[in-house]
Chains A and B, each alone.
Chain A
Amino acid sequence: MNILLVCNAGMSTGIMKMKLEQEAQKRNLDATIQAIPMAELDSYMEGVSAIILGPQIRFALNDIKKSASGIPVMAISPQDFGMMNASKVLDDVLAEINK
């Protein structure tokens, strides 16, 4: 499973990426998580299972959904992002993928 974590510069989501990796490991999930800047999203889309956005760029959600051609896209809620609640975020992503 290949998850893209997108924020403006790919910096602040770096912490979330670490937490998500730990969480995936805990659950014995085989998941690769990449934190990337929004401007480079287009060149990363191939072979991706889900795209999740930091709340600071949630305004781009619909736009990215359109260009993602079927890849599940979701925005992390501000609360989950602030508390770095990786377990909840991972639950949401898995639910989104299995929908």
Chain B
Amino acid sequence: MDKFISFMDSKIAPIANKLARQKYLQALQNTFLALIPFMTIGSFALIIISPPMDYTKMGPGALRTIFYGWSMVANFLSPMLGYIYKATMSVMSLYVAIGLGYNLAKHYKLKSILPIFITTASFFIAATMSSDASISFTYFDASGLFTAILISIGSFELYRILAEKKVGYINLEGGGVPPALTDSIGNLVPSVIVLGAVSVVSYIVLSLTGSGIPALMAVIMTPIVKSVDSIWGVVILALVVMIFWWFGIHDTVITGPLSPFLVNNYTANMTAFAAGTAATALPYIVTEPFWWTFMAIGGSGATFGLAILALTSKSKQIKTIGKITMIPAFFNINEPLIFGLPIMYNPTLMIPFTLVMPLNAVVTYLAMNSGLVARTFADASWNMFSPIGALINTMDVKALILVLFMIVIDTIIYLPFFKTYEKQKLKEEMDAGEENQG
């Protein structure tokens, strides 16, 4: 075990560092972080205008009155909220292009706003180009996400390299021109080259394949998206994440690169739901809320039940941790538990800790795959208490019951391992107590 630990620390930690500090991943992570409010607003706008049950098909009673009221509110607010939904979720990829331009410019300490214009214009060209020369906004929603990421990074880097090498730089300094202008006008030639290059590449792809870059990206990305959205894919990913956490290493190493896929799947579900697809028949199962609400109940490793066990422990040390960790557990934060109990490097707790979250993935996957529980199309954010989050994200009461059921199962699995660990701790505490007396 010691060998394994020193191997992880010496070999895996540097890789983790490289990945987590990778500039494109950081820029993407910052962009997604900044987009959380828009995703939440879009989610709630969509939920409010889509009552989950049709009151006209319900028998009389309080429930019918509630859904009648809901549908009145929905009809009244629909025109306004519909536009909010369209301005947030339906143009999500456009914001990703803007955000990547901003965050990459920030990384390179470029002060001008021009790089943001460049990535946005480049995405615009790549996403809208069509064979009949008309402009289509189809790919501004989640379906253009991978294109937005690729084109923004590509166009930004090309621009940055050209600008750094001062290719065609127009020197206006000393001519009484304001500094903001010298940069923008000075980099006219690089801008022309970048936009020209994006147009040419888009046009070539269009001529060769008959459809633009987004359609080509979809073909390329489909196998990866499919494997993430499979029961084996999600189980393997969850296992790796939990092994990292057992070493006390943050899951960003895995979930960082994974997040574009989870966001892609969740927003695609949202688009499908908004277009009238039933929540049980949405295109994807494994999504951002699938992972954070259904799998990581109480935090990575599904430790909500473990937090309760710790809180009610007879061991003083464990109970102290339980008190620290119980409230954060409601918001799916469990670092105090991982480092304080500790779970990190703890051989007794390793088995349940690494297995419970993949198990939740399997249970939820099967329930959603069979149509028993609705799939996720909204995201109440990863900090939402999981049972409530599950209800909001699917608008299905059965999802709430499923999460409660999994909390019980998870706790039962943790229980024997926890008891063993508690016994060790109690013995240590008793020995220490005897020493003090003697």
**In the complex, chain A residues 1-28 whose Cβ is within 8 Å of any chain B Cβ:** 7-9, 11-12, 15
Measured CB to CB, the nearest residue on chain B to A61 is B17
Find the residue from B21, B29, B321, B339 having the highest chain A CB count within 10 A. B339
Instruction: Assess the A59–B16 pair: CB atoms within 8 A.
Output: yes
Find the residue from B21, B29, B33, B106 having the highest chain A CB count within 10 A. B21
Q: Which residues on B sit within 8 Å (CB–CB) of A63?
A: 17, 21
Q: Does any Cβ of B come within 8 Å of A34's Cβ?
A: no
Q: Does any Cβ of B come within 8 Å of A60's Cβ?
A: yes
Q: Which residues on B sit within 8 Å (CB–CB) of A62?
A: 17
Q: Does any Cβ of A come within 8 Å of B13's Cβ?
A: yes
Complex CA gap A59/B30 in Å reads 20
Complex CA gap A9/B36 in Å reads 12
How many residues of A sit at the interface, in one of the four size bands? 20 to 34
Measured CB to CB, the nearest residue on chain A to B300 is A56
Chain A contact residues, majority secondary structure: helix
Instruction: Assess the B107–A56 pair: CB atoms within 8 A.
Output: no
**Nearest CB in chain B: distance from A82 CB, A:** 2
Residues 64-91 of A, flagged 1 when their CB comes within 8 A of B and 0 if not, give 0000000000000011011110000000
**Nearest CB in chain A: distance from B206 CB, A:** 35
Instruction: Assess the B335–A81 pair: CB atoms within 8 A.
Output: yes
Measured CB to CB, the nearest residue on chain A to B299 is A12
Measured CB to CB, the nearest residue on chain A to B20 is A60
How many residues of B sit at the interface, in one of the four size bands? 20 to 34
Contact residue among B21, B339, B341 (Cβ-Cβ distance under 8 Å from A55)? B339
**Contact of A11 with B324 at beta-carbon distance under 8 Å, contacts A63-B17, A78-B344 already known:** no
Contact residue among A9, A58, A84 (Cβ-Cβ distance under 8 Å from B33)? A9
Measured CB to CB, the nearest residue on chain B to A59 is B13
**In the complex, chain B residues 145-170 whose Cβ is within 8 Å of any chain A Cβ:** none
Complex CA gap A84/B107 in Å reads 32
Q: Does any Cβ of A come within 8 Å of B383's Cβ?
A: yes
Instruction: Assess the B333–A43 pair: CB atoms within 8 A.
Output: no
**Contact of A82 with B17 at beta-carbon distance under 8 Å, contacts A8-B252, A12-B335, A55-B248 already known:** no
Instruction: Assess the B250–A8 pair: CB atoms within 8 A.
Output: yes
Contact residue among A40, A54, A82 (Cβ-Cβ distance under 8 Å from B342)? A82
Chain B contact residues, majority secondary structure: helix
Instruction: Assess the B341–A82 pair: CB atoms within 8 A.
Output: yes
Q: Which residues on B sit within 8 Å (CB–CB) of A55?
A: 248, 335, 339, 344
**Contact of A81 with B333 at beta-carbon distance under 8 Å, contacts A39-B33, A56-B250, A59-B13 already known:** no
Complex CA gap A84/B335 in Å reads 10
Q: Which residues on A sit within 8 Å (CB–CB) of B331?
A: 11
Complex CA gap A57/B106 in Å reads 22
Q: Does any Cβ of A come within 8 Å of B320's Cβ?
A: yes
Contact residue among B29, B249, B338 (Cβ-Cβ distance under 8 Å from A82)? B338
Instruction: Assess the A82–B339 pair: CB atoms within 8 A.
Output: yes
Contact residue among A9, A59, A82 (Cβ-Cβ distance under 8 Å from B336)? A82
Instruction: Assess the A82–B20 pair: CB atoms within 8 A.
Output: no
Complex CA gap A42/B248 in Å reads 24
Q: Does any Cβ of A come within 8 Å of B328's Cβ?
A: yes
Find the residue from A42, A54, A84 having the highest chain B CB count within 10 A. A84
Instruction: Assess the B336–A15 pair: CB atoms within 8 A.
Output: yes
Q: Which residues on B sit within 8 Å (CB–CB) of A11?
A: 331, 333, 383
Instruction: Assess the B14–A59 pair: CB atoms within 8 A.
Output: yes
Residues 306-320 of B, flagged 1 when their CB comes within 8 A of A and 0 if not, give 000000000000001
**Nearest CB in chain A: distance from B120 CB, A:** 21
Instruction: Assess the B339–A15 pair: CB atoms within 8 A.
Output: no
Measured CB to CB, the nearest residue on chain A to B342 is A82
Instruction: Assess the A39–B320 pair: CB atoms within 8 A.
Output: no
Measured CB to CB, the nearest residue on chain B to A39 is B26
Contact residue among A12, A39, A79 (Cβ-Cβ distance under 8 Å from B30)? A39
Measured CB to CB, the nearest residue on chain A to B107 is A42
Instruction: Assess the A15–B328 pair: CB atoms within 8 A.
Output: yes
Please list 5 pairs of residues, one from A and one from B, whose beta carbons are closer than 8 Å in the complex, sorted by A's number: A12-B328, A39-B33, A81-B336, A81-B339, A83-B321
10 further contact pairs, Cβ within 8 A, besides A8-B250, A12-B333, A82-B321: A7-B250, A8-B252, A11-B383, A38-B26, A39-B29, A39-B30, A56-B249, A81-B339, A82-B336, A82-B339
What is the interface of chain A, defined by CB distance below 8 A to chain B? Answer: 7-9, 11-12, 15, 37-40, 42-43, 54-60, 62-63, 78-79, 81-84
